[in-house]
């Protein structure tokens, strides 16, 4: 039986992967979305537009979560997470720190970003959609803190067309992203797909 459609009911998992294959979970994911962009050139004819040629395809994606995912931010920005153990005397609690707004964020590394949405096929079977943006560069990470509200972190990234995945393996064709629907129940194993 062919898969003819998919109805999603919520993003369940998201990740970021670097060129070395290191994967970090984007915890407490809220959204992974994108908006296609391209340049267009209209071809004029006699009193009518004959065609519109599109070029320079790319996609601006927005990712938002309700956590502060240090490993994911390190992969996205190229910044280092500093882990400091607790000290007894003088008393100092354990901590983790990552810098924001650094020079490395002006030329962020290329990464893969992906998300998984659970749902059903058009004929009612349990299924999940895996969407992978193969070559992205993220902008600076924002962290929102509010009184009486959850901590939210978000970033925008630009996804570019590519013929290889982030680790250099050939894709079947040039593309910005891949969308694959799998039949069955999604099991979050913490890795990429």
Proportion of the chain above pLDDT 90, given as a percent: 64
Model confidence pLDDT, tens digit, residues 168-181? 999 999 999 999 99
Sign of CA dihedral 177, 183, 185, 191: negative
Per-domain boundaries in the chain: 6-42+57-183
Instruction: Please report the pLDDT score of residue 46 as a whole number.
Output: 84
pTM (two decimals): 0.87
Cis amide bond preceding 160, omega within 30 = no
Proportion of the chain above pLDDT 70, given as a percent: 98
What band does 187 get if pLDDT is binned at 50, 70 and 90? confident
Inter-residue contact 174 to 159 (CB < 8 Å): no
Instruction: Please report the pLDDT score of residue 27 as a whole number.
Output: 86
Model confidence pLDDT, tens digit, residues 113-135? 999 999 999 999 999 999 999 99
Sign of CA dihedral 149, 151, 106, 16: negative
Letter string b/e over residues 68-100, b meaning 16 or more CB atoms within 10 A of that residue's CB: bbbbbbbbbbbbeeeeeeeeeeeeeeeeeebee
Architecture in CATH for domain 6-42+57-183 = Roll (2.30)
Letter string b/e over residues 122-137, b meaning 16 or more CB atoms within 10 A of that residue's CB: eeeeebbbbbbbbbbe
CA distance 49 to 155: 38
CA distance 156 to 165: 20
Model confidence pLDDT, tens digit, residues 7-61? 998 899 999 999 999 999 998 999 998 888 888 888 888 888 888 888 788 999 9
CA distance 128 to 175: 21
């Amino acid at each position: 039986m062919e898969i003819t459609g998919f109805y999603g009911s919520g993003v369940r998992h998201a990740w970021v992967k670097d060129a070395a294959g290191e994967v970090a979970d984007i915890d407490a994911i809220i959204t992974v979305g994108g908006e296609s962009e391209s340049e267009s050139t209209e071809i004029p004819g006699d009193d009518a537009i004959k065609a519109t040629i599109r070029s320079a395809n790319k996609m601006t994606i927005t990712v938002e979560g309700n956590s502060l995912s240090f490993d994911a931010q390190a992969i996205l920005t190229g910044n280092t997470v500093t882990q400091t153990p607790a000290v007894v005397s003088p008393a100092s609690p354990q901590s983790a720190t990552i810098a924001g707004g650094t020079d490395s964020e002006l030329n962020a590394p290329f990464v893969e970003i992906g998300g998984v949405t659970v749902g059903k096929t058009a004929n009612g079977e349990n299924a999940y959609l895996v969407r992978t943006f193969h070559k992205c560069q993220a902008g600076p990470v924002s962290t929102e803190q509010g009184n009486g509200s959850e901590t939210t972190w978000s970033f925008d990234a630009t996804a570019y067309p590519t013929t290889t995945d982030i680790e250099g393996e050939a894709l079947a064709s040039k593309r910005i992203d891949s969308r694959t629907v799998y039949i069955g129940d999604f099991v979050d194993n913490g890795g990429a797909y």
